[in-house]
Amino acid sequence: MSNTAKPAAASAVEMTEIVLPSHANALGTVFGGQVAAWIDIAAGVAAMRHARRVAVTASMDDLHYMAPVHVGEVVILKAHVNRAFGTSMEVGVRVEAENPLTGQRRHTATAYLTFVALAADGQRVPVPPLTPESDDEQRRYQQAEQRRVWRLERRRMRDSEQGG
């Protein structure tokens, strides 16, 4: 596998789903778990595009729901790798809802996920570094480092609580 750095744009994913009654609760809004599943799929595709390997979800954190999405609306998920760390990658996903009759969109959720690249034998393998190109990509790249510090600290705390 090449260790040549890749731009964030190379991992970009835009996925759309229409909210059907089977995706919704009694209020006619999409289940949070359904949105989380769509987020995981979009992020997984972005991670595999970056690594050009099978990539599996290691964690999903900072999933924030900001607004409900109603039956009949279109969900747009935008995902891309924010930063690569050895064998893992942080993927950011922005979720928007679109009224298909007016085209009006609103931001409804954001999530950050960590994916790990795997070889055919299931062992972790290195991923290419990421090169941010735009100011926005540079900002996300820097923020990903801080989130990684927080994740590692939470892991250390969890492990110490479990006696590990």
- Tens of pLDDT, residues 74-106: 999 999 999 999 999 999 999 999 999 999 999
Provide the pLDDT for residue 2.
64
Provide the pLDDT for residue 123.
97
Contact 129, 111 (CB under 8 A): no
CA-nearest of 136, 151, 152, 131 to 83 is 131
User: Where do the domains of the chain lie, and which CATH numbers do they carry?
Assistant: 6-161 (3.10.129.10)
- Tens of pLDDT, residues 114-141: 999 999 999 999 999 999 999 999 999 9
- Secondary structure (DSSP) of 27-96: TSBB-HHHHHHHHHHHHHHHHHHHHSSEEEEEEEEEEEE-S--BTTPEEEEEEEEEEEETTEEEEEEEEE
CA-nearest of 123, 127, 35, 122 to 82 is 127
Task: For the chain, give the mean pLDDT.
Answer: 95
